[in-house]
Amino acid sequence: KIGGLEDYEAINIIGTGSFGTCYKVRKKSNGYVYVWKAVGYGGMSEEKKQLLVSEVNLLSELRHPNIVQYYDHIIHKETATLYIVMEWCQGGDLSSLINKCKKSGSYLDEGFVWKVLYQMCRALQACHWQLSKTTVLHRDIKPANVFLDEAGNVKLGDFGLARTLHEDASYAQTIVGTPYYMSPEVIKGGKYNKKSDIWSLGCLIYELCSLVPPFAGTNIKQLAMKIKEGKYPRIPAHYSDDLQKIISLLLIVDHNLRPTIEVILHHPTVVSHIAQET
Ligand SMILES: CNC(=O)c1c(C)[nH]c(/C=C2\C(=O)Nc3ccc(Cl)cc32)c1C
């Protein structure tokens, strides 16, 4: 047996994501802590199950310091549950960090924001290239899906499964939350593409500074209108014009004019601020 549920002991639930429940677990053989993402596949059609397995296999091929590491998966037929074993990130998710700042009335250091920007660009670069041979599985870029390990490295969370499950009507009711990070081109019915990830990254970095997303609305129509207009308040005054400038590049409405990951990573302003960090 390559490894079954009995090889782990569940410690506690750490979150119920949009497509499954995350548990903190310990592997009995080495005492190491991991995360289980439990995804129920009961009631799924055969081809959906096949798609799910092929996406888990894609996950298993990705290896990058800024992407949460996939280790294993266990299919538990008795309960029709797929358990995906992934890396434990002691620092938790950015959504919790933003909420902590809101509660304490504090802001995140500019240096931390530049670090997140740089390491997320590296994560997306890996996704776009390591997966480019297949349909690019878009990563669900949002604060709740970006994690920090105990060394403060930034890790992009899981993905792809969202695509399979999104299309599966039976999960429709679990698609929760407002699409604050949806890009203008996707709103206009365009295909999700690599430039859409850049837009979402811009929203994420903006929210790390302002503690609120760049575009908000009381309803989806108003939100969509604001996104297409592309106007948003400057980040708080104590953050530099350099940071504001890079965010404004990421949030260019016309995706043809929006920079690629490479342009951002080689942008002199980014290079100079990252050099200060490392
Ligand atoms: C407040 N947040 C936490 O306590 C927290 C911690 C310490 N870890 C996590 C989540 C994950 C974690 O630690 N590793 C993960 C791998 C994949 C996914 Cl989808 C999630 C995680 C969370 C939500």
Question: Per the residue annotation, which of 7, 72, 109, 140 is the catalytic one?
Answer: 140
Kindly report the protein residue whose alpha carbon is nearest to atom 9 of ligand 1.
92
- Residues with Cβ within 8 Å of 230's Cβ and at least 6 positions away in sequence, in order, are 184, 251, 252, 253
pLDDT the model gives residue 193: 86
pLDDT the model gives residue 131: 64
Helix (H, G, I), strand (E, B) or coil at 130: helix
> For the chain, percent helix, then strand, then coil, each to nearest 5?
45, 20, 35
Rounded to whole angstroms, the Cα distance separating 227 from 225 reads 5
* Rounded distance from Cα 150 to ligand 1 centre (Å): 12
CB neighbour class for 63 (10 Å; exposed up to 12, middle 13-18, buried from 19):
exposed
Rounded to whole angstroms, the Cα distance separating 51 from 21 reads 20
Kindly report the protein residue whose alpha carbon is nearest to atom 20 of ligand 1.
157
pLDDT the model gives residue 168: 46
CB neighbour class for 84 (10 Å; exposed up to 12, middle 13-18, buried from 19):
buried
pLDDT the model gives residue 160: 53
pLDDT the model gives residue 53: 85
How many other β-carbons are positioned within 10 Å of the β-carbon of residue 69?
18
Amino acid at 13: I
* Rounded distance from Cα 67 to ligand 1 centre (Å): 13
Across 88-137, where does the E strand assignment appear? Answer: 92-93
> Which atom of ligand 1 is the closest one to the Cα of 158?
19
pLDDT the model gives residue 272: 96
* Rounded distance from Cα 15 to ligand 1 centre (Å): 7
Active site residue 140: yes
> Which atom of ligand 1 is the closest one to the Cα of 22?
20
DSSP string, 106-118: ----HHHHHHHHH
Residue 146 host element (H or E): strand 146-148
Rounded to whole angstroms, the Cα distance separating 120 from 64 reads 11
pLDDT by residue for the chain (278 residues), tens only, comes to 567 899 999 999 998 866 689 999 999 999 999 999 999 999 899 998 888 888 888 888 889 999 999 999 999 999 999 999 999 999 999 999 999 999 999 999 999 999 999 999 999 998 877 765 554 556 689 999 999 999 999 999 876 555 544 544 444 334 567 899 999 999 999 888 889 999 999 999 999 999 999 999 999 999 999 999 999 999 999 999 999 999 999 999 999 999 999 999 999 999 999 988 76
Rounded to whole angstroms, the Cα distance separating 278 from 139 reads 26
Contact yes or no for 44/170 (Cβ under 8 A): yes
ipTM of the complex: 0.98
Backbone CA torsion sign across 113, 115, 120, 125 = positive
Ligand 1 pocket: which of 56, 146, 147 to mutate (most atoms <8 Å of CB)? 147
Q: Which residue carries 């942008």 as its tokens?
A: 267
Ligand 1 pocket: which of 18, 21, 22, 25 to mutate (most atoms <8 Å of CB)? 22
Kindly report the protein residue whose alpha carbon is nearest to atom 3 of ligand 1.
92
Phi, psi for 112 (deg, rounded to 5)? -65, -40
Contact yes or no for 66/119 (Cβ under 8 A): yes
Kindly report the protein residue whose alpha carbon is nearest to atom 6 of ligand 1.
92
Contact yes or no for 207/214 (Cβ under 8 A): yes
DSSP letter at 68?
A: P
Amino acid at 151: A
